Structure 1
Amino acid sequence: MMKDLILLLRPHQWVKNGFVFLPLFFSGQILNIDYLLATVVAFFSFSFVASSIYCFNDIWDVEADRKHAKKRFRPIASGRVSKRAGYGLMIAMVVLSIVLAGCYFRGDVLYRVLGILLFYYVMNIAYCIKLKNFVLVDVFIIAVGFVLRVLLGGVVTGIWVSHWIVLMTFLLALFLAFAKRRDDVVVYEETGVLLRKKVNRYNLEFMNQVITILATIIMVCYIMYTVSEEVVSRMGSPYLYVTSVFVLAGLIRYLQLTIVDVKSGSPTRVLMHDRFIQLCIVAWILSFLIIIYF
């Protein structure tokens, strides 16, 4: 039972909440213990809220999940966890998130943190109930969710979040969301099975063009970021452009997984299992650490 409850929370998806660390990382303050601790608290507060939404999603979609080849094995869809237990866990995660934030943050910071968490929560509940059935709206909501993670990281540390970070986070999340939807389109065109409503409003030609355009914009935007006078001055190094190599390699690899291997259905699973992308990320982080901190 405990294992199934943990599966219901989808803790492996918490890796996406690592975006709250971006303001801290790019500011060069990663070694500031106070900032780091505040960001860790924000990470877990956001993760608990996200897990609450996963519980609600599995409860709301239980009938559809039972007809799905893979989702039918989820704790609630399989019957291993009752809806009542799912609702209880959902509420517990929200309470835990609020208590954690309330115990650490104070004043305006606490109100802003709770405001971001509430906005994210309401937006995603609406997404689960209705908005995910609207073409394009669904992927844009996912992208906004990642921007909220970044903004939360800025709020709890007091670090200014630049337009560069917001823009690149939004574009990258949009790219990953469209790549994920592409897998649903492939299944629909091969089997006629609608894994999501309105998937038939997409086709492979459209999806390929969209993710290619987004990948191009992301790369151009990132290069502009690394050579921006403002950023070079703030980072204190003219060599930021070197990190573009790892971003380009990672994007090309993800396009290969998406278009050739059709394995982009879960960005989290790709991140946790693809060694090439993991190597690109590690090399990117190490290069930034050297440039910023040494």
Structure 2
Amino acid sequence: MSEPHFQPASHEKKLSASLRLIRPSQWVKNFFVFAPVLFGGALLDVHALLAGLVAFFSFSFAASSIYCFNDIHDVADDRRHPEKCHRPVASGAVSVAQAYGVMALMFLLSVALTFLLPLFSPLSSVNLLTVDGLAQPEPSCVSPTLYVVVFYWLLNLAYCVKLKQYAIIDVCIVAFGFVLRMLAGGEAVGIELSHWIVLMAFLITLFMAFAKRRDDVLRMEQTGEAPRKNTNRYNATFMDQALTITASVTLVCYIMYTVSPEVMRNFHTRKLYLTSIFVLVGLLRYMQIAVVDKRSGDPTKVVLRDRFVQLDVLAWLIAFVLIIYVG
């Protein structure tokens, strides 16, 4: 069978195709960079919010650069895939050379933004989530956020080329990417997160990654075709157990965070444990989406479209903020 022929896109469609190439809808994942602002009690600090915003766009551009490289690297496989064949590079809407250009532009913008971060003074107050506080950094023209972003970029290049072929390692790298987002945000605003929150972020995103892979397993069982090269290294039983384990440990980590002595001391409240109910409900709802509804293939769509999940996250956020700032 001959390979399908893809006609190059007209000039008026180039911009639209380039926007689809960088996947701005996926930028919602990068709101994790604001976690230090939230958990550090710095929502009212303008400098912290501005620094977090710069870090958000820096990470978003870095992620978009990786999306470009992934589409370039997988173009041959994507053209044979019933859904991925519509991606800009695979469909011919964007040439490989143009995709490399967009990739380079996104990376350069990402790096350039990190040089703006030293313009924002770090929080003058002590670190709200550590015992000894956070020392003021020496003035520098280079923010540590740059090193986190570059490390994320290099790690994901390796992921696209090779590491995503290895079961378990693939989902761990995806989850670790969200930890790096939080660390980048922390470096940008000068706040160090509680180790419980870092662990919880890794575990909850690992939970969502397993749910996504479970959707791939079900598709393979139905069609006989593996959506990924390592899908045959998973099965539904393993995925169900992985979901149960990661959901359980995520909840435990969050509860441990809310009752930890340093958090109660720094926030002057013992009531944060009450927000655990929203975490539990959210985990159960997501597991229902994965196991019962069988539509956990795209976590971003779940978060953006599922009203139950949205209301639960909103309720948790309101409760968390009220307890911290109102008491």
Q: With the length of structure 1 as denominator, give the TM-score of the two structures.
A: 0.97
Aligned match for 1:58, one of 71, 82, 93: 71
Q: 1:228 is matched by which residue type in structure 2?
A: S
**1:195 is matched with which residue: 201, 222, 227?**
227
Partner of 1:80: 93
Tell me the CA shift for residue 110 of structure 1: 2.4
- 1:68 counterpart SS class: coil
1:136 matches 2:168: yes
Give the corresponding residue for 1:118: 150
**2:82, 2:302 → 1: CA distance?**
20
- Partner residue of 2:21? 8
1:96 is the counterpart of 2:105: no
Q: Within 5 A, what are the aligned runs for 1:1-294?
A: 1-105=14-118, 108=140, 110-294=142-326
Q: Which has the higher helix share?
A: 1
Aligned AA (1:112): P
**Gaps (5+ residues) in structure 2?**
1-13, 120-138
Q: 1:104 to 1:226 in 2, by over 3 A?
A: closer
Which string of whole-angstrom CA distances, capped at 9 and with x for unpartnered residues, describes residues 31-70 of structure 1? Answer: 1011110110011001000000000001111111112221
Q: Detail structure 1 runs of 4+ shifted over 3 Å in the superposition.
A: 106-109
CA distance in 1, matches of 2:117, 2:144: 13
Displacement of 1:105 after TM fit? 2.6
Of residues 273-282 and 112-121 in structure 1, the stretch that sits farther from structure 2 once superposed is 112-121
User: Displacement of 1:274 after TM fit?
Assistant: 0.2
Name the SS for the 2:90 alignment partner. Answer: coil
What is the Cα deviation at residue 225 of structure 1? 1.6
Which amino acid in 1 is paired with 2:244? T
Could you tell me how far 1:164 is from its partner in structure 2? 1.2
1:101–1:257 distance in 2 versus 1, CA, 3 Å = same
Report the number of matched residues: 294
- Identity between Structure 1 and Structure 2 (%): 53
2:3 paired residue number = none
Tell me the distance in 2 between the aligned counterparts of 1:109 and 1:166. Answer: 27
User: Residue 139 of structure 1: CA displacement?
Assistant: 0.6
Read off the aligned partner of 1:270 and give its amino acid letter. Answer: V
